[in-house]
């Protein structure tokens, strides 16, 4: 199985965002900066402010923070200039404004990127409408983030109803036609490599990653093995000087009794019954380390267990090729769907 992404343009026409958050204040902008993004485009109505209202001090503070992080910031609205003029005035021109964008059509958005001297692959678009903001972002290969429509501090019942309708339409889409594409998208890693020895750990260290989570079977050793190869021990000895390391397997706990003792000298923990692709056990474990998800890397050989668990937790994810073809029948079935995902899904951002 080739571990390179296909050239399919399916997500140009499927309005599934890369991320979905309650508000613009819940987005992890530090993570976006680490991934190499340098430009953020915001929709205006119901994203930055209630419809036909001005931005508040909280939003201004967010703009200042993003500016200090080094982002170029712009507002791209389908509304008239007078509606968004307050952004330019309140930020003293630091945030550029573009109006009558005619989203989801792409022509004007391309001109915005040219004006900002920004590349699509380094640009994030954040909006509240999946059938305008997300579609135009996906069509132009931007990293798209959907936020819930701005409903707090709105005194107009009409505006609240409009926001709720927009949110409801998205959830109807997501839980009917769109859920399959969302699951497939969650199964796409940030990177593909051949083996754990081909990962650029120096790069991860420079990006301030602190915790490495490894799958066990067919990632570190062959399926059902109860020992680690000598070369893995040597790798862990080296990595333990720079990172905390956790092995998270779906295997039974008793399999790892001997390995746990062997890895104590590197201060490496081994956790069985991880229940991947569900992420709650892994998240609970990393809280014990006191490490934020944006400083965690998950490395595994399966898209629909390891990578989904990692992506759902907000980790940086790396897929390796399985060490051998020996694995349970259910896993072999999942491999079939992995091939489909790899050939059809969009790439995730990587360093």
> What kind of architecture, by CATH, is found in domain 10-186?
3-Layer(aba) Sandwich (3.40)
Give the per-residue pLDDT at 155.
57
Whether a cis peptide bond, with omega within 30° of 0, leads into 277 is yes
Give the per-residue pLDDT at 323.
94
d(CA 44, CA 76): 7
> How confident is the prediction along the chain (351 residues), in pLDDT tens digits per residue?
334 444 445 556 677 899 989 899 999 999 999 999 999 999 999 899 987 889 999 999 999 999 999 999 999 999 999 999 999 999 999 999 999 999 999 899 999 999 999 999 999 999 998 889 999 999 999 999 999 886 655 556 665 676 677 677 777 777 776 677 777 788 889 999 999 999 999 999 999 999 999 999 999 999 888 889 999 999 999 999 999 999 999 999 889 999 999 999 999 999 999 999 999 999 999 999 999 999 999 999 999 999 999 999 999 999 999 998 877 777 777 777 777 677 767 778 887
Give the per-residue pLDDT at 324.
85
d(CA 181, CA 77): 27
Give the per-residue pLDDT at 7.
47
User: Which of 217, 266, 226 lies closest to 245 in space, CA to CA?
Assistant: 266
Pick the CATH number of 191-344 from 3.40.50.1000, 3.50.50.60, 3.40.50.1970, 3.30.43.10: 3.40.50.1000
Q: Give the DSSP per-residue string, 70-114.
A: T-EEEEE-SS-HHHHHHHHHHTTTSSEEE----TT-SHHHHHHHH
Predicted model pTM: 0.82
**Residue 96, token pair as written in the block:** 């550029």
List, by residue range, all CATH 3.40.50.1000 domains of the chain. 10-186, 191-344
């Amino acid at each position: 199985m080739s571990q390179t992404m296909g050239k399919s343009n399916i997500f140009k026409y499927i309005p599934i965002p890369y991320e979905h958050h309650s508000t613009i204040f819940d987005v992890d902008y530090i993570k976006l900066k680490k991934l190499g993004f340098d430009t953020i485009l915001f929709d205006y109505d119901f994203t930055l402010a209630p419809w036909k209202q001005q931005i508040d001090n909280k939003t201004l503070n967010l703009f200042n923070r993003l500016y200090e992080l080094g982002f170029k910031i712009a507002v791209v609205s389908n509304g008239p200039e007078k509606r968004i003029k307050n952004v330019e005035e309140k930020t003293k021109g630091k945030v550029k404004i573009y109006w009558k964008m005619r989203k989801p059509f792409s022509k004007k958005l391309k001109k915005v990127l040219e004006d900002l001297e920004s590349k699509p692959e380094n640009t994030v678009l954040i909006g509240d409408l999946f059938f305008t903001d997300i579609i135009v972002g996906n069509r132009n290969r931007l990293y798209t983030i959907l936020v819930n429509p701005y409903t707090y501090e709105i005194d107009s019942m009409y505006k609240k109803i409009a926001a709720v309708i927009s949110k409801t339409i998205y959830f109807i889409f997501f839980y009917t036609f769109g859920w399959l594409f969302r699951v497939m998208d969650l199964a796409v890693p940030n990177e593909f490599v051949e083996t754990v020895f081909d990962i650029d750990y120096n790069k991860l260290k420079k990006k301030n990653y602190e915790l490495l989570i490894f799958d066990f079977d067919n990632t570190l050793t062959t399926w059902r093995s109860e020992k680690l190869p000598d070369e893995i021990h040597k790798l862990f000895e080296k990595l333990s000087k720079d990172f905390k390391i956790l092995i998270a397997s779906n295997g039974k706990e008793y399999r790892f009794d001997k390995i746990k003792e062997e890895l104590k000298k590197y201060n490496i923990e081994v956790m069985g019954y991880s229940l991947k692709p569900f992420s709650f056990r892994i998240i609970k474990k990393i809280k014990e380390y006191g490490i934020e998800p944006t400083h965690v890397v998950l490395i595994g050989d399966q898209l629909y267990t390891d990578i989904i668990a990692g992506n759902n937790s907000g980790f940086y994810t790396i897929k390796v090729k399985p060490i051998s073809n020996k694995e349970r029948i259910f896993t072999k079935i999942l491999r079939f769907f992995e091939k489909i995902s790899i050939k059809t899904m969009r790439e995730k951002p990587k360093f």
